[in-house]
A and B are shown apart, each in its own frame.
Chain A
Amino acid sequence: MSKIIMEDISVEFPGVKALQHVDCDFEGGRVKALVGANGAGKSTLMKVLSGVNAQYTGQIELDGVPVEIRSPSDAKRLGIEIVYQEVDTALVPNLSVGENVMMEYLVYGLGKGGVIDWNHLHTEAAKTLENLHVSLDTKQLVSALSLAQKQIVVIARAMLGHCKFLILDEPTAPLSVEETKNLFELVRRLRDKGIGVIFISHRLNELFEICDSITVLRDGQLIKTFELDEKTTIPDIVELMLGRVYNEAIDKSGRAIGGVLLNIKNLADNENRVQDICLNVRSGEIVGLSGLVGAGKTELCKTLFGAFGRQQGTILINDKKVRADTPAAAVKAGMAFIPEERRKEGIVVGESVMENLSLATLKNHARILSLLNHKSESRAADTKVADLKIKTPSIRQRVGLLSGGNQQKVTIGKWLDSGAEIYIFDEPTKGIDVGAKAEVYKLIVDLARKGKGIIYASSEQAEIMSLTDRVYVMYSGRIQKELVTADTNEAELLFYSTGGKNDAEQN
């Protein structure tokens, strides 16, 4: 059996120590889990192993021989293959399964004439798929496949070389239960053939099913490597992943939590991205939406705001049933949305600060024949810039030239005079610096002080703990658990986020 030993691996980016002196080994014929919270260093470690991250220090040994992995082709030559979560980026949709599996042959193996031996291509591809015990027509177009099938095509391609180690980066996140089961069977078969599988997943309960051992990373350091047996429990792993408990103190005083402002019953979108959503928000209350990346938080926010079109279920605002099947209708019903993808969905980067600040409320500045009152528009913009402390040389500045934190303030600012009662924030502190984060928190608390209802979606448990009053934990597009923030902790949030069900399972 082959064996990789990584010793004293460190990776440093400007200002960030992504990995610090990590020792880790992987063996053929075994499945090893790699877990850690967001930013723990899992991806960085795997990027080192797959040659994507060439700037590492430390030694790597393969079967006792020191090796250098400084490019993806180095890794391939050594038999290390990686399948990323976004399989679509690795496939050419309008080519056939056979062509995608045999990509290597098409790119490097054609010889001088450049003539494709279609017979060879399809028989080889079919043979590879057969070895994996999957039946897929090699002449079918990849664009017609399901996500799970696409994954198999990528894995099949990886198997074509003399693959010794296969890294699967969150392979089950987009899969259904049945598809996950099939994938696990495939993984077991690969393991039995002597291939070492490295399995990255946030779904901790899955690990017990498929993994032999587990390595936990936190803040770029290796915390512990151990065999997975019956004695290990999800809370044990969660504790190792989190380690410390930290609370940034946020002043949330001066709020009066009143009656139910927003009440959602059995909400679902038209493509079942989210299902059976029941939640409520009181005035002055900050309600968290917790969950891992891909749990459906963004989808819930967008469904509620009408961005996916007509929903199922009912939305009540102030006990009145409202229609919110388009964003325009949602705005009218009293909602405001600060989306996760700020530059793509929140602001119009090419336009001025003023035009962005008035985007949601331009009708306030329109007179007869919808002629604009430029004076009142710029006055309103000046006020917002002063109130939110937006750092910009002028309200005519293009908003794309501002820093991330100031762009986020503009995104929030456009709603301030909209009369919205409910503010939906989706990862509003993503990609902005610590100082700006604190300011955004303060803005949100200020809104709550004015009696607004706040929904705050975040995949950072620490943020949920320090900012919210109540929290709904999401898993797989559903609400897994409702918790009162004061009575819970990060470990419990993570427990439910990773698919934990109830207290009985913890034993």
Chain B
Amino acid sequence: MQNKTKSFSVGRFLTEWGALVAIFLSFIIFSFTAKSVFFSWANMITILRAISITTIIALGATFGFAAGVFDLSFGSIATIAAAFSITFMAWDNIPMPFAILLTLLACAAIGGINAFLVIKTHIPAFLATLGMMFILDGIELTYSGGSVINPKVAPAGKTIMMAIPDLFNRLGKAPLIIIIMLICIILVELFQHQTKHGRFLYMVGSNAEAARLSGVKVNFYRTLAFIMTAVFSGIGGILIASRAGTVAAGVGGSFLMPAIAAVNIGAAMGGRNKPNAVGTFVGAALIGVVENGLYALSFPYYAINIVKGLILLVALIMSNYANKEN
């Protein structure tokens, strides 16, 4: 067990386990206030399904945050992945496994370009990926002709070569989407906390120069972070396409901010104080539970973002407090 030099304190407990406590409290509150709708097995599945795409995309973002490179383009990568996966099948007649593989390879390549820009040209990651975000959005719009991609309706100059397989559509529904999410969480958690590469990723994020002068290949781990961010965004994007059946322009962008919020709410979890897979899941779950509960209470739809913002701010204030106490 961890050797705690300080005795138990309420503040410390709240910062480390606050997200879980908040989920628990929200559960109790919503269960009483919106009893008929909220507290049911079916609704629990709904919540898990609803947070799964955010969680998977956010898992990718944990790599960037861990290595200290902030990627702003991952929402747009998800959009591209959604568009590619569906059209590779419908327009280009590529069998589903290859379509998915090709999509993920394309995403990895985009991550590689991000890494190249940041490492070789020394542009700040935030700005380099901002540029990449615009480019990707533009590519997607050009590719789709600006309209919603519907695999059943061919745009001008294209023909529908293949109907989307049923299995692809099932990927985005419960239970498969939840199982995929859980597998991703376990894999990322194992990678980040049980392997050498995960450790180095965090070390590079904490102090790149010390890591470099200890023989760690810093640029390799930065590249890895960008690629992993892009691949998980790609998985998220494929699930977006599979769940909706169609791809609207900029659909991935709506996951950017919730994903960043989930990573940062979860970072303080368990006193780890760094982005991690399980914490990210808890962060996404907190947002999901509150959102779902508020819907159940018929809370005004347009005001829900206000609550999300408040959750993020409280979480950040608390983790800041934790850092200070250390």
Contacts and interface: CB of A to CB of B under 8 A. Distances in A.
Given A362-B196, A370-B195, A393-B5, A350 B214 contact: no
Interface string B175-200: 00000000000000010001111011
Contacts of A332: 215
A372 B202 CA distance: 14
Interface in A397-433: 397-398, 414
Given A345-B209, A345-B210, A396-B3, A328 B199 contact: no
B214 A414 contact: yes
Contacts of A264: none
B206 interface: yes
B195 A349 contact: no
A327 B206 contact: no
Contacts of B214: 327, 331, 359-360, 414
Given A350-B207, A355-B199, A327 B2 contact: no
A491 interface: no
B213 A305 contact: yes
Interface in A336-370: 337, 339, 344-351, 355, 359-360, 362-363, 365-366, 369-370
A330 interface: yes
B213 A346 contact: yes
B237 to A, nearest CB: 27
A461 B3 CA distance: 43
B200 A362 contact: yes
Interface size class of B (residues with CB under 8 A): 20 to 34
Contacts of A330: 215
Contacts of A398: 326
A398 B206 CA distance: 12
A359 B199 CA distance: 9
A348 B201 CA distance: 13
B217 interface: yes
Nearest to B212: A327
Nearest to A365: B196
Nearest to A307: B213
A140 interface: no
Contacts of B2: 396
Interface string A173-188: 0000000000000000
A396 B4 CA distance: 9
From B203, B213, B216, residue with most partner A Cβ within 10 Å: B213
B134 to A, nearest CB: 26
B203 A359 contact: yes
A45 to B, nearest CB: 35
A332 B5 CA distance: 37
A339 B190 CA distance: 33
B3 A393 contact: yes
A346 B3 contact: no
A346 B211 CA distance: 8
Interface in B198-239: 199-200, 202-203, 206-207, 209-217
Interface of A: 305, 307, 326-328, 330-332, 337, 339, 344-351, 355, 359-360, 362-363, 365-366, 369-372, 393-394, 396-398, 414
18 contacts: A305-B213, A326-B217, A327-B215, A328-B216, A332-B215, A339-B213, A345-B210, A347-B210, A348-B207, A351-B202, A351-B203, A355-B203, A359-B210, A359-B216, A360-B214, A362-B196, A363-B196, A371-B194
Given A327-B213, A360-B214, A372-B199, 13 more contacts: A328-B217, A331-B215, A344-B207, A345-B213, A346-B210, A348-B206, A348-B210, A355-B199, A359-B214, A359-B216, A370-B195, A371-B194, A371-B195
Q: Which 6 A-B pairs have the closest CB atoms?
A: A331-B215, A394-B3, A348-B207, A370-B196, A366-B196, A360-B214
